[in-house]
Amino acid sequence: MVNLPNNKSLPIANLAASFNNTTTPYKFYWLLSILNEVETGHVKIYKRDLYSKMISTAWYTVNYFHVSFGNQDKLQEAIKLIKDAENLNIDAKRTKIEKVLNSTDNKSTIKQLLHFNKNVPHWFLSPWFPKKTEKEIYKLSKEDRTKCLYGLYDDFIQINPIWINYLVENSKILKDFCYWNLSLYLQKRNPNVPDIPNKLIQPATRKALTQQRSKFWDIVIKEHGGLKCIYTGKTIKIGDYAVEHFVPYSFVSHDLIWNLIPADKIFNSSKSDKLPSLDKHFNPFFDIQKTAIEIINARFPKNIFLEDYLTIFPDINDISVLPISFTKEKFKEKIQPLITIASNNGFEFL
């Protein structure tokens, strides 16, 4: 658990209390956006900049990983509407998103951004001013005696000078606090979605599957000599194939070998994050996986990638019995729920 750093001269308890009884994730994204601005030396921060940062920070989680914030969540709703209104890609970079949102004159987008002004800036300060109205919070937030985190104005917030050093010096811990609690919040609403913490930010780069290609699938293809793409039927040739995630990476968020197969490069580039049809694709997927296990186990029984299968078959103590234990029924029991959950979370089928 991540706690807020203490400071005897500041009402840290009020800041912590801002996250009590959290029913929407906007508070975490609001503070993360403030921290990003303060780190760059900005203490007079325009609200539209903060709303744009909230959108860009949550963008990848909502659009790429399809993590649900809740059916009625306004931040998630705004992200989806803005994506269409501004014709932005699901994996657009944060800098591009913010640039578009800060410069657009699209009335629909501006409406979505300004919606947050109704609640976010003043209700975040409610622990400082319990039972006060919006108008009263705006007024009291500017008074020094309240030691409020920031003062509220129509178009911007002004960070209280007494908070600046605390925010800058403890920025990493404060961000960790936000992401830790955000992951707990989202995991409760997505109990069957794997690896929520790693779906909160856009990775700088996706890992190349070089090792899986050269030390596993190249061996299988060479030994077998006639593997075919389960989607197109084309013969797979070393040096001219893609290593493909059967269940999309954007759902499973890992590169374990049991979810990887060689596939036609052109098809793979068009598949994107779509789900395969179990009725059409599972049997050939199982067959190619079974073939791979048998070949690798026979030729290179100590191949490190064989251990990947233990993550879905933890009851196997001896990796040498994997070819026997790896049955169609057992494998489908592992794959089918992933496809179902991913579909329920908004992933489309091929």
Same domain, residue pair 195 and 294: no
Same domain, residue pair 134 and 80: yes
d(CA 195, CA 177): 18
Q: Which of 199, 223, 253 is the last residue of a domain?
A: 199
| Burial state string for 290-302 with b = 16 or more CB within 10 A and e = fewer than 16 | eebbbbbbeeeee
Same domain, residue pair 194 and 57: yes
Same domain, residue pair 167 and 45: yes
**Other residues' Cβ atoms within 10 Å of the Cβ of residue 215:** 15
150-196 tens-digit pLDDT = 999 999 999 999 999 999 999 999 999 999 999 999 999 999 999 99
74-121 tens-digit pLDDT = 999 999 999 999 999 999 999 999 999 999 999 999 999 999 999 999
Residue range 220-244: average pLDDT?
96
Residue 200: partners with Cβ closer than 8 Å, 6 or more residues away: 61, 179, 182, 183, 186
Nearest residue to 149 via CA among 13, 5, 2: 13
Cβ–Cβ under 8 Å, residues 332 and 312: no
| Domain limits for position 256 | 210-344
Q: Which of 165, 199, 233 is the last residue of a domain?
A: 199
Q: How many domains does the chain have?
A: 2
Same domain, residue pair 106 and 194: yes
Query: How much is the pLDDT for 1?
Result: 55
pTM equals 0.89
d(CA 86, CA 83): 6
Same domain, residue pair 271 and 332: yes
Q: Which of 199, 231, 246 is the last residue of a domain?
A: 199
Q: What is the share, in percent, of the chain residues with pLDDT greater than 70? A: 99
Quote the mean pLDDT of the chain.
95
**Strand order across the beta sheet in which 156-159 lies:** 44-46, 156-159, 150-152
Residue range 286-306: average pLDDT?
96
Distances in whole angstroms, Cα of residue 147 to Cα of each of 126, 164, 168, 278? 13, 12, 17, 59
Query: How much is the pLDDT for 317?
Result: 85
d(CA 345, CA 350): 15
Domain-located, residue 227 = yes
